[in-house]
Amino acid sequence: MYARNRIYAGLAIATIVILAGSFGYYYSSASAQISSLKSDGRLFCTTVSNALTTVLDVFSNTTLAMQQQIKEDNSMIATLNSTRPAGYANMTATLQGEIAQDTSILDAINSATSIDSVSGAGPCAPFY
């Protein structure tokens, strides 16, 4: 009977050792996967942030060019109103239409680029 208890105790210890080893392996494997996912997330977030910066630069340059065009169109309308050449009504109507179109494009750009600031370390912080 004493030998049987020793065998059971030995089997229990062996089972505990095997379970502890397998849990250690799974923990190590999961830790490596988490590390890999964080690295991939960091790379993705950085790539998206860089692309967003480029797009915002393009939008900024486009906005500046369109604002300058609106100023030039308004100046041309003022000149046409002061000189009133033949057909000036059609010319001013065309320019006013272009100003309206440029203004609506600017409004769309401004609404698309108005990003609420996120408090904290930034959108990529969870990956670090």
Question: Total structural domains in the chain?
Answer: 1
pTM: 0.59
Average pLDDT, the chain: 87
- When pLDDT is averaged across residues 37-41 and rounded to a whole number, the result is 91
pLDDT at 9: 87
Q: Judge whether residue 76 has pLDDT over 70.
A: yes
Q: Judge whether residue 88 has pLDDT over 60.
A: yes
User: What is the DSSP track for 62-120?
Assistant: HHHHHHHHHHHHHHHHHHHHHH--TTHHHHHHHHHHHHHHHHHHHHHHHHHH-PPPPSS
Domain that residue 22 falls in: 2-114+122-127
Are 96 and 49 in contact, with CB atoms under 8 Å apart?
no
